[in-house]
Amino acid sequence: MEPSFPYSTRISGTGEPDPTFLKRWRGWLVVGGVILLAVVIFLFRSSKNTGTTAATGTGRAVPVLVAQARKGDMAVSLTGLGTVTALNTVTVRSRVDGQLIRVAFTEGQMVHQGDLLAEIDPRPFQVQLMQAEGQRAKDEAAFKNATMDQERFRSLVQQGILPKQQLDAQTSTVNQVEGALKSDQAQVESAKLNLTFSHITAPISGRVGLRLVDLGNMVRATDPSGLAVIAPIQPINVVFTIPADSIQKVMAQSRKGVQLPVEAWDRDLKSRLASGTLAAIDNQVDITTGTVRLKALFGNADSSLFPNQFVNARLQVDTVRDTVIIPTAAVQRSPQGAFVYVIKSDDTVDMRPIEVQGTEGDETAVKRGLAAGERVVTDGLEKLRPGSKVSLPKPEGAAPGKGK
């Protein structure tokens, strides 16, 4: 029986398969076998790598930074945006009209109450004083003469020489001159007061702002801008807001008579500017923002706070005692809640759910889920999975407060 070949096989004249065709057919079989072998090897290696990764979490150790959980006390604070305000701000104005002939302060200078700030030309007020004193002297002489006539008329009436009606008329004249004399005295005092007002002094102690009127200008008591503004900066206030939901924590401490400490920080919450105490709590909630305004008092001895400066006010409302504290950077969030990566003894990580008790700046208090002394990952978290192998920095290369 003749051997069967594919329909395309060529038959030689002797009835045997064409050798050229057989050679070509064997070549295709060899190429197919090589391709099949390469696919098998690739699948085998991929399966091996996947198994290794599944066993270790990653193909190699992940470099991380760690910190050790510790036990201690942590302050619980409320932070709100605040504005530095002076206790009272005074616009220095002239109380009389005249020409400004002297400016006795330097812009930005610290002045004390009663210090001379400026002087208005006093000569018009000196003339008014002289006129008032001259009129008073004139009326004093008239009063003296009227009084003497009154005494003479009284004696003559007693002797029956003059009628009593004339004495009564003289008594009325004395009273009129006495009233004019009192009016003259008032004019004298008014002129003296105006002369005093020509010397403008500081009504309060504080820092003087920029000069608003130049030397030589006419100033009037009705000028709205005034000469300068004085704002005291020692002590000074900070007005800030906290959420209305947190006001009960503040009120609870206030009812106990506790003086709550307040710190003023810069905008980035990196540098503490000053320390003070809570001075007042507003009596209503701002319905547009859902916040309550509070006022803190700062001594500001180093003048680190400046009126109208924006700061972050941190109000300490409580202290958590004997709790586990870790860096805030170690705390991660998921739909199931907060968790941390804890490093086990074999340098692998375990994802540990925790309950956060409070956060204060770079530190977080853990209520449950973590014990003091355990190590948590603070950097390199994005590459970790439960069971991942980690590599820890050498002690001398670790950041302060972190490391193995």
Read off the pLDDT of residues 336-389 as tens digits, 9 standing for 90 and up.
889 999 998 888 999 999 998 888 778 899 988 899 999 999 998 888 888 888
pLDDT at residue 57, as a whole number: 46
Domain edge (last residue) among 204, 230, 256: 230
DSSP letters of 102-148? EE---TT-EE-TT-EEEEE--HHHHHHHHHHHHHHHHHHHHHHHHHH
Q: At 15, is the pLDDT very low, low, confident or very high (cuts 50, 70, 90)?
A: low
pLDDT at residue 400, as a whole number: 46
When mean pLDDT is compared across 21-25, 214-218, 269-273, the lowest value belongs to: 21-25
Same domain, 26 and 157: no
Averaged pLDDT of the chain: 85
pLDDT at residue 53, as a whole number: 46
Task: Tell me the average pLDDT across 140-167.
Answer: 88
Residue with tokens 């947190």: 246
Q: Is the pLDDT of residue 274 over 50?
A: yes
Count of residues in the chain: 404
Q: At what angle do helices 123-159 and 164-197 cross, to 10 degrees?
A: 160
Taking the C-alpha atoms of residue 244 and residue 285, their distance in angstroms, rounded to an integer, is 7
Number of domains in the chain: 3
CATH label of the domain that carries residue 171: 2.40.50.100
How many percent of the chain have pLDDT more than 70?
86
Q: Are 390 and 62 within 8 A, CB to CB?
A: yes
Same domain, 173 and 266: no
pLDDT at residue 402, as a whole number: 43
Same domain, 382 and 263: yes
Whole-number Cα distances in Å, 286 to 84, 278, 283, 292, 311: 19, 19, 10, 6, 20
pLDDT at residue 17, as a whole number: 56
Same domain, 103 and 187: yes
Same domain, 75 and 192: no
When mean pLDDT is compared across 24-28, 96-100, 130-134, 157-161, the lowest value belongs to: 24-28
Q: Is residue 118 part of a domain?
A: yes
CATH label of the domain that carries residue 254: 2.40.30.170
Q: At 200, is the pLDDT very low, low, confident or very high (cuts 50, 70, 90)?
A: very high
Q: Is residue 97 part of a domain?
A: yes
Same domain, 242 and 96: no
Nearest to 238 by CA among 87, 23, 96: 87
pLDDT, tens only, 127-141: 999 999 999 999 999
Domain edge (last residue) among 230, 260, 287: 230
Same domain, 282 and 332: yes
pLDDT at residue 395, as a whole number: 62
Q: At 54, is the pLDDT very low, low, confident or very high (cuts 50, 70, 90)?
A: very low
Same domain, 160 and 13: no
Domain edge (last residue) among 198, 230, 262: 230
- Is 0.75 surpassed by the pTM of this model? no
Task: Print the domain residue range for 24.
Answer: 1-56
pLDDT at residue 399, as a whole number: 45
When mean pLDDT is compared across 135-149, 206-220, 378-392, the lowest value belongs to: 378-392
Same domain, 384 and 360: yes
Q: Is the pLDDT of residue 403 over 60?
A: no
Q: Are 309 and 84 within 8 A, CB to CB?
A: yes
Same domain, 173 and 194: yes
Task: Tell me the average pLDDT across 268-273.
Answer: 89
Buried b (16+ CB within 10 A) or exposed e, 288-320: eeebbbbbbbbebeeebbebebebbbbbbbbeb
Same domain, 364 and 247: yes
Q: Which of 12-21, 30-39, 165-174 has the highest mean pLDDT?
A: 165-174
Same domain, 368 and 238: yes
